[in-house]
Amino acid sequence: MAVEFVKSVYRLEDLPKTNEPRKDIVFVGRSNVGKSSLLNFLTGRSIAKVGKTPGRTRAINYFKWDFEGVKAFLVDLPGYGFARGDRKEVENWKRLIEGYFKNRVSDIGLVLVLVDAKVGPTKDDALMLEWLQYLGIPYAVVLTKTDKASQKELSQTVRKLKELGVEEIIQTSSKERRGKDKLLKVIFSHLRKNP
């Protein structure tokens, strides 16, 4: 698997050109959900910084990803729910993310919404899911840190997500290195559906 950092996007005009063959595989979730760990686990490379100070990476990070004949961008969106008190920062985040989805809607292969298996979907997660459903963007939920959740917590989280209309749920633990094959399978099936 080849993975290569392309750029950090701070302004919408710096997004890649639209209608290129490479689709976006997007990773989004609240800060600390385990997004960097999952990206590193998935690619087998230390491409994302784990345990960084929340709120410090306000950019959209683009990576080129070539794997088993499939070419895509891995897109690391800044985590949400990081600075409730800081209105300006929240507004900047919102503008960047909303602009991202509007600009790239036809270039998105799949959005992976990361949800902590133990914590379950937050209000922000529910809003994100509602928005993706409204825009008709293909998405799946990746449960992170399943090693920390009891069987009961896990089934509660799954039930809540189903109530929110989520059909595809992938269970992962970057710590215990579980769920990678299933995640790859889901990514590939969506890339083939949206060539």
Is the sign of the CA dihedral 116, 45, 61, 55 positive or negative?
A: positive
Q: Is 43 in the site for ligand GDP (CB under 6 A)?
A: no
Q: Which of 9, 22, 24, 37 binds ligand GDP (CB under 6 A)?
A: 37
Q: Are strands 2-9 and 60-67 parallel, antiparallel or unpaired?
A: antiparallel
Q: Is 153 in the site for ligand GDP (CB under 6 A)?
A: no
Nearer to ligand GDP, 54 or 99 (CB): 54
CA distance 64 to 154: 33
Q: Which of 36, 61, 157, 171 binds ligand GDP (CB under 6 A)?
A: 36
Q: Interacting stretch for ligand GDP, rule CB under 6 A, among 3-11, 34-42, 63-71, 94-102?
A: 34-42
Reference 140, options 118, 97, 172; nearest CA is: 172
CA distance 75 to 60: 7
Which positions lie near ligand GDP, rule CB under 6 A?
Answer: 31-37, 50-51, 79, 144-145, 147-148, 173-175
